[in-house]
Amino acid sequence: MPVWLRIVLPAGAAIAILLLVILLQSATSRAESAERDLRVKTAEADQQKKRADQLEQAALQRLADQAAVDAMGKDYDDAIDAAANGAPDASAVALGCERLRRAGASSDTFKRVCGGH
């Protein structure tokens, strides 16, 4: 075997091994980066799903609340329609005055109507 071949073969083998190590490190780095990206994307998707679920629950709650408010409004309308015509009795006036007093009413009409209650 010639001398130059004894020098070139080990040097070539060392260069080949060095290239393989560099390629392996590069592939490992890309794999780790891809795993990190996947974890981030998965976390973002989970957060978006939770947010969508929360928004859906809030929308359902608003619908339920609106149905309850509509039912109360209908009940109040029915109660007003069923009420006797004429002036309210003393207990209704006293109850109304107490509600207005708690709400902080202070108009002249309030004082005139509710002054004694």
pLDDT for 6-17, tens place per residue?
Answer: 888 988 899 999
**Distance from C-alpha of 64 to C-alpha of 40, rounded to nearest angstrom:** 36
Quick one: pLDDT at residue 105? 85
Q: In Å, how far from its chain's centre is CA 6?
A: 71
Q: 5 vs 86, which has greater pLDDT?
A: 5
Q: How many CA atoms lie within 13 A of 24 on its CB side?
A: 6
DSSP string spanning 76-88?
Answer: HHHHHHHSPSSSP
End-to-end CA distance of the chain: 123
Question: CA angle 51-57-58, nearest 5°?
Answer: 90
Q: What is the pLDDT of residues 27-86, one digit of tens each?
A: 999 999 999 999 999 999 999 999 999 999 999 999 999 999 999 999 888 887 777 677
The answer to whether the beta carbons of residues 19 and 12 sit under 8 Å apart is: no
